[in-house]
């Protein structure tokens, strides 16, 4: 019998397990893969501010420090965002193989039990607790728990079996492909984003620098708009931009771009991170929100165990916390994403031209939108509701 079982040792799961264990709960963290942190299905970018909220930054898991971002419209018009932070870096490209393991170690250090190669299969209700069925290294295994935290990523099995989420539509998920390329020559001070209906329908391509002349070069496309696979779009992008280097890794994955779900809880169960579609509908970034959600879920799990109340009405406190923290942004950014999807390449070029050359000093989607509205007052009417 555990107080809390957390499914999935990504950022959300490890942060949830650490938060519960630090408060003295009896916690089990299970991970279906045999190694935590691999394969990496992520471009690994995160802002310094979001990372610093929960963790003391350790150079061991930083692959690069960046000072700004460059965004390219379909015709090549460049928009530069470079925050002024007295010479400080504004963002990091993580080494998630090390980062995810580090987080899991912090959970273990706090007292959580961690078992790898163990997959959540299903659950049944036993009184006011849950009996979980798992596959532990090829064998059936069952445990009981008061609280179950599903941090099992996009298409979460916990979430679907619990009836909290449904399978995403083709317009609600980005399909991604990414190469790790070595011997690449880029200015490593920036991250790079490329837009275009033909280049990346419903998404964008990116180049994120890593140490030793390596970079994550990837693309995300919306299956409802794409006419080929993400990998095919990626290969075309690399040819078009003339990226030179050696491909040393390929990863394919998916990111929810759903917006804000109504609730991430039911009796005894909370979902955190991609499992609750917590990634941003415009950027696809989900690490920061996964860390926040994991923390909030951990705090509420502790309070639920302390009060011996695992009902959905009690756990809804978790909904309040994540929605106030970042959920409202997911809802707003979903609307902005829907607006952006309607823009053709000419419109994107014109908008980029209107703010090209302006030094945008804050690294955020909001900062770009603000500049765009200043220079294109007609957007005010369209964006009023956001």
Ligand X SMILES: Cc1cc2nc3c(=O)[nH]c(=O)nc-3n(C[C@H](O)[C@H](O)[C@H](O)COP(=O)(O)OP(=O)(O)OC[C@H]3O[C@@H](n4cnc5c(N)ncnc54)[C@H](O)[C@@H]3O)c2cc1C
10 contributes a contact to ligand X by CB under 6 A: yes
Q: Count of alpha carbons within 13 Å of 137, Cβ hemisphere only?
A: 4
Residue closer to ligand X, measured from CB, 107 or 355: 107
Binding to ligand X (CB under 6 A): which residues in 227-266? 253-255
290 contributes a contact to ligand X by CB under 6 A: yes
Residue closer to ligand X, measured from CB, 25 or 51: 51
Residue closer to ligand X, measured from CB, 23 or 96: 96
DSSP-derived letter for residue 360 is B
Compute CA distances 351 → 74, 190, 340, 342, 381, whole Å: 11, 21, 11, 13, 16
221 contributes a contact to ligand X by CB under 6 A: no
C-alpha–C-alpha distance, residues 98 and 82, integer Å: 27
Number of residues that bind ligand X (CB under 6 A): 39
Q: Given its phi and psi angles, is residue 337 left (phi above 0), alpha (psi -120 to 50 degrees) or beta?
A: alpha
In this structure, what token pair is assigned to residue 329? 């942004």
Helix 312-322 crosses helix 287-307 at what angle (to 10 degrees)? 150
From the list 172, 127, 158, 169, the residue with the least C-alpha distance to 265 is 158
Name the segment binding ligand X (CB under 6 A); options: 44-52, 57-65, 298-306, 311-319: 44-52
Compute CA distances 2 → 27, 68, 193, whole Å: 6, 45, 44
CB of 331 to ligand X, least distance (A): 17
Residue closer to ligand X, measured from CB, 74 or 284: 284
Binding to ligand X (CB under 6 A): which residues in 113-142? 119-120
Question: Which residue among 3, 21, 27, 31 contacts ligand X (CB under 6 A)?
Answer: 31
Task: State how far Cα 65 lies from the chain centre.
Answer: 19
152 contributes a contact to ligand X by CB under 6 A: yes
32 contributes a contact to ligand X by CB under 6 A: yes
Residue closer to ligand X, measured from CB, 63 or 351: 63
91 contributes a contact to ligand X by CB under 6 A: no
3-state secondary structure of 100: helix
97 contributes a contact to ligand X by CB under 6 A: no
209 contributes a contact to ligand X by CB under 6 A: no
Residues making contact with ligand X (CB under 6 A): 7-13, 30-33, 41-46, 119-120, 151-153, 157, 176, 178, 218, 253-255, 273-275, 279, 284-288, 290
């Amino acid at each position: 019998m555990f107080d809390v079982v957390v499914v999935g040792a990504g950022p959300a799961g490890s942060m949830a397990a650490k938060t519960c264990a630090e408060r003295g709960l009896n916690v089990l963290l299970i991970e279906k893969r045999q190694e935590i942190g691999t394969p990496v299905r992520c471009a690994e970018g995160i802002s310094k501010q979001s990372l610093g909220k929960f963790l003391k930054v350790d150079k061991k898991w930083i692959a690069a420090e960046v000072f700004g971002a460059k965004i390219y419209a379909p015709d090549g018009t460049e928009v530069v965002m470079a925050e002024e932070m007295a010479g400080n870096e504004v963002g990091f490209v993580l080494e998630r193989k090390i980062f995810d393991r580090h987080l899991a170690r912090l959970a273990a250090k706090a007292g959580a039990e961690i078992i790898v190669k163990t997959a959540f299969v299903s659950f049944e209700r036993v009184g006011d607790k849950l009996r979980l069925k798992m596959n532990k290294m090829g064998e059936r295994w069952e445990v009981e728990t008061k609280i179950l935290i599903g941090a099992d990523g996009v298409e979460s099995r916990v979430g679907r079996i619990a009836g909290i989420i449904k399978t995403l539509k083709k317009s609600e998920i980005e399909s991604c492909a990414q190469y790790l390329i070595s011997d690449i020559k880029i200015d490593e001070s920036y991250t790079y984003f490329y837009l275009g209906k033909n280049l990346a329908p419903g998404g964008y391509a990116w180049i994120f620098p890593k140490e030793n002349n390596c970079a994550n070069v990837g693309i995300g496309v919306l299956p409802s708009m794409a006419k080929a696979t993400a990998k095919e779009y990626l290969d075309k992008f690399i040819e078009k931009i003339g990226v030179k280097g050696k491909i040393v890794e390929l990863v394919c994955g998916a990111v929810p771009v759903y917006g804000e779900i109504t609730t991430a809880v039911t009796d005894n169960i909370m979902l955190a991170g991609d499992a609750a579609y917590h990634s941003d509908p415009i950027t696809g970034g989900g690490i920061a929100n996964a860390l926040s959600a994991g923390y909030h879920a951990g705090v509420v799990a502790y309070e639920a165990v302390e009060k011996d109340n695992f009902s959905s009405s009690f756990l809804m406190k978790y909904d309040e916390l994540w929605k106030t923290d970042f959920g409202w942004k997911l809802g707003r950014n979903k609307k902005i994403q829907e607006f952006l999807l309607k823009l053709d390449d000419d419109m994107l070029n014109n908008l980029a031209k209107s703010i090209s050359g302006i030094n945008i000093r804050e690294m955020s989607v909001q900062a770009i939108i603000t500049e765009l509205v200043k220079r294109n007052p007609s957007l005010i009417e369209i964006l009023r509701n956001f």
